[in-house]
Structure 1
Amino acid sequence: MQPLTILLIIIIYFGILILISNRVSKKDSGNDAFFKANKNSKWYLVAFGMIGTALSGVTFISVPGQVGSPDIQFKYFQFILGNAIGFILIAKVLLPLYYRMNLTSIYGYIEQRLGHVSYKTAATIFLISRTIGSAARLYLVVIVLQRYVFDAFGIPFWVTVLISLGLIFAYTYRGGLKTIIITDTLQTLFLVSSVIFTIYFICSSLDYNLPEAFEAVKNSNYSKIFFFEDWLKSNYFWKQILGGIFVTLAMVGLDQDLMQKNLSCKNIGEAQKNMFTFTGIFVIINIFFLSVGALLYMYAEKNGISVPLDTVTGKPRTDLLFPEIAFNYLTLVPAIVFLLGLTAATFATTDSALTALTTSFCVDFLGMDKAENAANPNMVRTRHLVHIGFSLLMFLVIIVIYLLNSDAVVGLIFKVAAYTYGPLLGLYSFGLFMKTKTVNDRFVPIICILAPSITFLISSYSTELFGNYQFAEELIIVNGGLTFLGLLLISKKATTQTRF
């Protein structure tokens, strides 16, 4: 597919999103609509739209690309099973808490439970975590757009990033969450359709019907799911399950981004229906992504296609196998389907993240949810400036990632999560389980710096300290546990037992 064709499709795509945004936000672009969608979202729209937010472009191209590694294959599905357990725990434990407290920002719980400094610490951790994680996700897809579109027009990488963020800003700055509930539903529809049609097109190219494709994938060298052989390795089953549970609790249940959508439902019952429905769809769609990965490698073997090389390092880069085949070997329609799916997966994640970052800063640091600020007309203008600020900050983070040439994006995202979300896990665990204790609030930031630092040292020297043990996603448990122990050291008896 020619770069100009790809560019025209992207322009049309964003034109549709901007039209939807203008229509949705025309009657109400106030802060309540931006932060909470007026608490009137339909649960089934939230559930479907969250798929696009939760998956991102990383899932779309990195997960299929990793299937070719003998030590990975379908290992990711172990992690997905852990995710599913984590989603159920969120629905049964955290969502009732947030609804009972009628929170706009979920970090309001920390303020009421542990104190003002702890509250600001938790909100700051989220801002750092989500900015880095979302920038890494967007970086991966901008690299694809740069290689297959913008290089042909001589446009530098930083301009491509700026254009991408500018388009996201254009359809989110007015309506915020109210707009995103609608646009993410549309983008998820593109994403899911893209995966299904991609499987169909590749199967047709390999002369398989669906049952034959299933058997071929099952009998291939790429479909091993469960790894029980060596508990020291990072792919070991129970490591992946535990990592999946706790990464989900931290990156979803303690993250303003995805929880903000849940809190826009009318009541706890609808929010829980949303989470249970979302969990089922999430597991199924990830099976499809892994299957796409196996089929891509089978297609590459049959047609003598090598994994594309990174333009800087010259090393094979599995992230690029899917776009390489879609754009250069399949016909026009499959290429368009891939492009729509990749674009939807990426921008459904980034638009939601920018809205959540703006919400957290406006509520947690500027107090825009307070009654005295609700009627202030300057608050909407201030919110717009904050939205611009986070767009520029994400731009700078992407440029830094690019300069560092961090090509292992999936690993980067979960590594960042282990170090940054771990303290959130410790804070909430202490608040929920130590009902008779509180903390010396002013020392909490120190604990939340020390715990990740010690975790980094443990991870760096794990093979020497623990007999060749390799940490995987369960590293977040170590971080959260160290934070919890640190909070115990600075704890004191509460004057009254907490109700939360």
Structure 2
Amino acid sequence: MQPIDLVVIAAYLLCSAWLGLRLSGRQRDTKDYFIGDRRLPWWAVCLSVVATETSALTVISIPGVAYLGDVTFLQVAVGYMIGRVVVAFVLLPRYYRGEMTTAYAYLGLRFGRGMQSTAAVTFLFTRLLADGVRLFAAAIPMKIVLDAYGLEMSYFGIIAVLGVVTVLYTFIGGIRAVVWVDVVQMALYVVGGVIALSLIVSSLDVNFLEVAAAEGKTRFVDFTSDPISAPYATVTAVLGGALLSTASHGADQIIVQRLLGCRSLRDAQKAVIVSGAVVFLQFALFLTVGLALYSYFEAATIEQLGLAGPDELFPVFIVEGLPAGLSGLLLAGIMASAMSTLSSSLAALSSSTMADLYERFVSRPLTDAQGLRLGRLFTLGWGLVFIGAAVMFTGTDDPVVELGLSVASLTYGGLLGAFFLGLWVRRARQRDAIIAFGVAVATMSWLFLFQPGLVGFTWYTAIGTSITLALGGLLSLRRERTSGVGAVEGELSAEGEQERA
């Protein structure tokens, strides 16, 4: 590492803040601040969606997945594409028909304020933990760099710097700034990944793909592993990926907020479906980097390399194996992926806090100026909380990407099940939905905390969805069948009818 690398990193941080402020435009009201006044081009939203879900986990952790195992993780991306089709044609039409600004507004109309608030609070808590993992992941390579220079800096200090820069442009520019900066950040880390792969390959005397194939690392499908405990067994990965993607892109405000910023339903559908193909290619790129690193490090184990975990493999190569300047560029790309996810989370958390909680419980109407000011205050507050949450994660023996997906999946099943319950079980009421949702989240939390490894994390969403649908459906049988209880396009539940009144 050379001083030029630190200069590149510092320049990137300054340019990100400037670019976000430059592209944000003037914010007039909360609709403009939170969903860009529905004037965002679909291709920019598509790339922003990819940048948001990719995060630093993909860049630094997925190479470690291939290094330790094989490329069966790519099956999850196949499931992702299937799930996005469900989102495009089942959930998005409901959101656009109701002119909603958050995913949980549908639950408010279908069941009532209690279910909307329950889903929103759960989203806030889970997103805080899941993206705390992502922000921590970005600090891993930065700490390696600073340690190499003898500049010892704690994870907290690194996270604070990244957080402050991201909060700055999100606070002022809202979702429009977030989307456009995401587009630039995605380009940066993808180009960085391609450059790294090219340099690794050029430094090898062997064909890394032949080495990987001889070791069984190019295996794409897995029909032999236990589908219950092995997260990348084919059935598990594809089904789990489909449900995970349906939940994350159809019931998670961090993605739905972007899709609601498109100019039309058709644009939103194109954005979410095309993003699946882009994510597949990204996963393939960074898994290939992992295969190349296997030859680069001569098949050494993590212990033989003296590393704390597989998430340090790619960062160590960036620091030690890249020419001056390129190391800084690639590290800036890793920070870009983390900052894009953080800015997206801040925008989603503040919009959900505003629309699903504050406006539901405070009857006093706000002017456009007051709403915009309050939305920015929520952004600032969540930014400070995020920095604290990221410091909670100080390490993991498994690839951090799996930790992040596991945490997010704890509530995805319950949220997706609640949406399906509202769509498919016409007799279900608010109490049924809340009880079923609570049991699903409690069950998944118990599995995650007290039975780790019993079930692969790719099953979490499927289990949670099944529990919510089954229990909610059984509870709804307590009452006589009533007519006219439907989703947004039909009549509303009794609670939802009261809320609308």
Same fold per TM (> 0.5)? yes
User: Residue in 2 aligned with 1:18?
Assistant: 17
CA distance in 1, matches of 2:135, 2:397: 13
Is the 8 Å Cα contact of residues 156 and 391 (structure 2) preserved in structure 1? yes
Q: 2:416 aligns with which of 425, 438, 442?
A: 425
CA distance in 1, matches of 2:4, 2:29: 37
2:220 is the counterpart of 1:225: yes
* Worse-matched range after superposition: 47-56 or 129-138: 47-56
Partner SS state of residue 458, structure 2: coil
User: Residue in 1 aligned with 2:492?
Assistant: none
User: Residue in 2 aligned with 1:176?
Assistant: 174
| Residues 285-324 of structure 1: per-residue CA shift (max 9 Å, x gap) | 21111111100111111899976545xxxxx411001010
CA distance in 2, matches of 1:123, 1:307: 46
Is the 8 Å Cα contact of residues 462 and 471 (structure 1) preserved in structure 2? no
User: Residue in 2 aligned with 1:262?
Assistant: 259
Is the 8 Å Cα contact of residues 70 and 217 (structure 2) preserved in structure 1? yes
* Displacement of 1:274: 1.5
* Worse-matched range after superposition: 375-384 or 242-251: 375-384
Partner SS state of residue 290, structure 2: helix
User: Residue in 2 aligned with 1:147?
Assistant: 144
| Residues 132-176 of structure 1: per-residue CA shift (max 9 Å, x gap) | 111101111112212322683233322222111111111110111
Is the 8 Å Cα contact of residues 447 and 483 (structure 1) preserved in structure 2? yes
Specify the code of the residue in structure 2 equivalent to 1:423. G
What number of residue pairs does the alignment pair up? 482
CA distance in 2, matches of 1:370, 1:25: 29
| Residues 168-205 of structure 1: per-residue CA shift (max 9 Å, x gap) | 11111011111112111101111221121111111111
User: Residue in 1 aligned with 2:345?
Assistant: 353
* Displacement of 1:216: 5.2
Change (3 A) 1:369 1:106: farther
Is the 8 Å Cα contact of residues 77 and 276 (structure 2) preserved in structure 1? no
User: Residue in 2 aligned with 1:313?
Assistant: none
CA distance in 2, matches of 1:286, 1:178: 26
Q: 1:414 aligns with which of 379, 397, 405?
A: 405
CA distance in 2, matches of 1:215, 1:19: 45
Partner SS state of residue 265, structure 1: coil
Change (3 A) 1:214 1:384: same
1:449-488 alignment runs, 5 A limit: 449-457=438-446, 470-488=455-473
Is the 8 Å Cα contact of residues 21 and 171 (structure 1) preserved in structure 2? yes
Is the 8 Å Cα contact of residues 82 and 240 (structure 1) preserved in structure 2? yes
User: Residue in 1 aligned with 2:491?
Assistant: none
TM-score, normalising length from structure 2? 0.89
Change (3 A) 1:29 1:58: farther
Is the 8 Å Cα contact of residues 141 and 331 (structure 2) preserved in structure 1? no
2:58 is the counterpart of 1:59: yes
Partner SS state of residue 428, structure 2: strand
Is the 8 Å Cα contact of residues 86 and 248 (structure 1) preserved in structure 2? yes
User: Residue in 2 aligned with 1:89?
Assistant: 86
Change (3 A) 1:50 1:176: same
1:169-318 alignment runs, 5 A limit: 169-207=167-205, 215=210, 217-232=212-227, 233-234=229-230, 235-301=232-298, 308-309=305-306, 316-318=308-310
* Displacement of 1:454: 3.0
Q: 1:496 aligns with which of 454, 479, 484?
A: 484
Q: 1:380 aligns with which of 372, 378, 402?
A: 372
Is the 8 Å Cα contact of residues 161 and 395 (structure 1) preserved in structure 2? yes
CA distance in 1, matches of 2:318, 2:224: 35
Is the 8 Å Cα contact of residues 17 and 169 (structure 2) preserved in structure 1? yes
Specify the code of the residue in structure 1 equivalent to 2:122. I
CA distance in 2, matches of 1:126, 1:304: 38
CA distance in 1, matches of 2:458, 2:192: 29
Change (3 A) 1:416 1:300: same
User: Residue in 2 aligned with 1:437?
Assistant: 427
Specify the code of the residue in structure 2 equivalent to 1:393. V
Change (3 A) 1:304 1:368: closer
Change (3 A) 1:458 1:146: closer
2:336 is the counterpart of 1:344: yes
* Displacement of 1:497: 3.1
CA distance in 1, matches of 2:300, 2:486: 64
CA distance in 2, matches of 1:307, 1:358: 45
Specify the code of the residue in structure 1 equivalent to 2:422. G
CA distance in 1, matches of 2:61, 2:245: 19
Stretches of structure 2 that go unaligned for 5 or more consecutive residues are 489-501
Change (3 A) 1:307 1:348: farther
Is the 8 Å Cα contact of residues 239 and 474 (structure 1) preserved in structure 2? yes
Partner SS state of residue 67, structure 1: helix
Stretches of structure 1 that go unaligned for 5 or more consecutive residues are 311-315
Is the 8 Å Cα contact of residues 257 and 348 (structure 2) preserved in structure 1? yes
Change (3 A) 1:495 1:223: same
Change (3 A) 1:406 1:219: closer
Change (3 A) 1:423 1:389: same
